[in-house]
Structure 1
Amino acid sequence: MRTLYAPVFFLGFVGSAVWLLDEGASLGWLPVLLLLAIGVSLLCERLWPYRERWNVSQGDGTRDVIHAGVNEALNVAGIAAIPLIALVLPDTGLWPSDWPLALQLLLALPVADLGITLVHYASHRLPLLWRLHAVHHSVTRMYGFNGLMKHPLHQMLEALGGTLPLLLCGLPLDVAALLAFSISIQLLLQHSNVDMRIGWLRHVFAWAPVHRLHHLKYGTTGDVNFALFFSVWDRLLGTALHLPHYHLADDDLGIGDFPDYPVGYGAQLRQPFRRDQPEHPPAVLPDALSRALVQQP
């Protein structure tokens, strides 16, 4: 099950969403399917945890629910606004609307992924963007549901980077909804606490064994594995990292030079705009991680 979990979860839920819309189901079924995916994610994290302690709330459960609710509502609002956006944008007629729905989604995924990945990469380089993105990096445990935890402004910037090229090509409403759903499923897998074994698929998909390293709290050590869906972007950016001999510790995650980052939802929304941004000495790199970095393939 550890080997099958990630591909079955991704293809099962995304494939089900495509099938439902192909069969004429309304877009209203996608939130229902997402709630089911969240439930499966939480259940499997308890059956096969990567870190037992990451299944224990650290006073962040309610906050993560609020983050997820707000951000998913923004996704729904953005999708609903597509017909209005289409009235403003030029009609290029470039989008292959006559293709099967599955093929249209397969075309949209890498285009959106590249845009989102570049915004993500820039968010680790530009101080103003980092202030917004730091909300997401403040987590000190990883479980699927907090993949949906982001500052709403940063989420909107990533969404713009990923969808603007597609909207200019005439992205249809149903494909946009499937794209948003697929992103949510991928975020559940990226941040999953399931002890999944993905083997050679790490060269294709940026699932949890790849993405966990991005959340390391030790200075710039975590400036790796930026991709949302496909690992190829990190190889092109020169930011790919694989540490097969290092098992993350309970306390490896977070922002090392800001360990007391606010935990509450309201405080996290305000923190990027505070003039004082407290900093502490960088967290010391553990010896085991230092050795793993030297031995990386």
Structure 2
Amino acid sequence: MLHIDRLQDLAESYGTLQRGKGMVTGVIALSLGILCFLGVLAFHFPQYLTTPELRKSYNVDAIRYVMLAAMVIAGGLALVNILFNRTRWLSSFAFLLVVLSAVLGGHKVPVHPDFPSGTPYIGLDWFILDLLGSALLFIFIEKLFAHRKDQPVFRAEWQTDLHHFIVNHMIVGFVLLATNLLVHRFFGWAANDGLRGWVQGLPFWAGLLLIVLVADLVQYWTHRAYHEVPLLWRLHAVHHSVKSMDWLAGSRQHILELLITRTLVLAPIYVLGFSKEVIDAYIVIVGFQAVFNHCNVSVRLGPLRYLVVTPNFHHWHHSQDEEALDKNYAAHYAFLDHLFGTAVKSSRMWPERYGVLGDYVPNGFLRQLKFPFVWKG
């Protein structure tokens, strides 16, 4: 019971982890242990816990090797800490999860693909892959090119953003289904075979530049509406309430905003009929930029910053500083803000403070979920 209390205290805390006492390796082991256990569950119940779009492209053997490596690393780190009496309470939980994952079959769980299509599901596999990949890549980048060098990985309010990350990824199936239905219901009439044929006939590079431009034009005006229409700002204020910028900050987004924005951005992509290869490449770009532009990294790209959105550009959008309010709306092409007169003009290279001016959005996932409906501002 005491160990559970200590684990709960750790989950509720923030700040730099103590080095040399097994805290860093213990947290790594526990995180990998949790992901391994969830991965085993996804292997056992793929019809309910995996995303249909991802199932088609999986290399199951490669995933098994990744899971085996994660179990070995997590178990090894935990065992070393236990043997050397370093954070035994933390490492014991990690080792227990690895053992439980192994007892349940580990990386050898047989996967039976013969289940009915259309089964309701939650995207546990997408959550695992995205969290593992994003954490490994972007934390590494943040350590190499940190803007605020004293900001720890577990900064204040990281728990809230992780909860947003989990929920928004777990219900990816619902979001995709709802978005698809809304796009076809309200925008299907606009599809034109001639226009679609022209778009699909474009070279790959031209189609990719065009799809990013089309998506960003829609995103720009949608984003601007979130700031200028009070009813929409109630939703968007949740995203702006983050006070520390890093790879996890972009996950703080109200589910209704996520649904509205994805529907509006995907509508012209559907209407114009871009090829699957172009859409897949766009998904990679938007996925990378959505995380990277919130990262705690000092990247400006010289003159290219007037063309492409960088972390520096987007950090200004999240600032409370007077010259940054309601500016820098673009997600991909920075020149759109310069074109429409909404680019930040400042003599300073970086903003000072992040968050909503007045700091009236509460912390905590559930409080933020209901905030748009209870705020009396």
TM-score, reference length from structure 2: 0.58
Match of 2:344 in 1: 241
Mapping of 1:40-189 within 5 angstroms?
40-73=137-170, 77-79=174-176, 89-90=188-189, 91-93=191-193, 94-95=195-196, 96-99=199-202, 101-171=204-274, 175-189=278-292
For the 8 Å contact 1:54–1:142, the answer to whether it is kept is: no
1:60–1:263 CA contact under 8 A, matched in 2: yes
Pair 152,85 (structure 1): closer, same or farther in 2 beyond 3 Å? closer
Report the RMSD for the aligned CA atoms in angstroms: 3.0
**How big is each residue's C-alpha offset from its partner over 1:200-259, in whole Å with a ceiling of 9 and x where there is no partner?**
11111111111111111145732111100001210122011254634433xx111121x2
TM-score, with structure 1 as normaliser: 0.72
Q: Would you tell me which structure has more helix in proportion to its own residues?
A: 2
Unaligned runs of 5+ in 1: 1-24, 278-297
- Aligned counterpart in structure 1 of residue 315 of structure 2, from 195, 203, 212: 212
After superposition, the Cα gap between the structure-2 partners of 1:170 and 1:143, relative to the gap in structure 1 and judged at 3 Å, is same
- What is the match of residue 354 of structure 2? 253
Equivalent AA in structure 1 for residue 163 of structure 2: I
The whole-number CA distance in structure 1 between the counterparts of 2:312 and 2:366 is 31
CA distance in 1, matches of 2:267, 2:135: 28
CA contact (8 A) 1:79 1:177 kept: no
Q: Give the number of aligned pairs.
A: 250
1:265 maps onto 2:265 in alignment: no
Structure 2: which 5+ runs fail to align? 1-54, 60-124
Distance across 1 between alignment mates of 2:267 and 2:334: 22
Match of 1:13 in 2: none
Q: CA deviation at 1:69?
A: 3.1
Query: Contact (CA 8 Å) 1:216, 1:253: kept in 2 or not?
Result: yes
> Alpha-carbon deviation of 1:49?
1.1
Q: In 1, distance between residues paired with 2:327 and 2:184?
A: 39
Question: Percent sequence identity over matched residues?
Answer: 28
Alpha-carbon distance in 1 for matches of 2:307, 2:296: 20
Contact 1:79–1:176 (8 Å) recurs in 2: no
Summarize deviations over 1:245-294 as a string: whole Å, max 9, x none.
34433xx111121x2521111110111110423xxxxxxxxxxxxxxxxx
Q: Secondary structure at the match of 2:228?
A: coil
Query: Which amino acid in the other structure matches residue 167 of structure 2?
Result: V
Distance (whole Å) between structure 1 residues aligned to residue 173 and residue 282 of structure 2: 12
Q: Give the structure 2 partner of residue 200 of structure 1.
A: 303
**Partner deviation per Cα, 1:175-221 (whole Å, 9 max, x = no partner):** 44543332221111211111124111111111111111111114573
Residues 131 and 200 of structure 1: CA distance in aligned 2, closer, same or farther (over 3 Å): same
| Whole-angstrom distance in 2 between the partners of 1:155 and 1:70 | 12
For residue 316 of structure 2, what is the amino acid of its counterpart? L
1:276 maps to 376
In structure 1, C-alpha distance between the alignment counterparts of 2:179 and 2:228, rounded to whole Å: 31
For CA contacts below 8 A with separation 6 or more, give which structure has more relative contact order.
Answer: 1
The question of whether the paired residues in 1 share the 8 Å contact of 2:323 and 2:344 is answered with: no
Q: Which residue identity does 1:71 align to in structure 2?
A: N
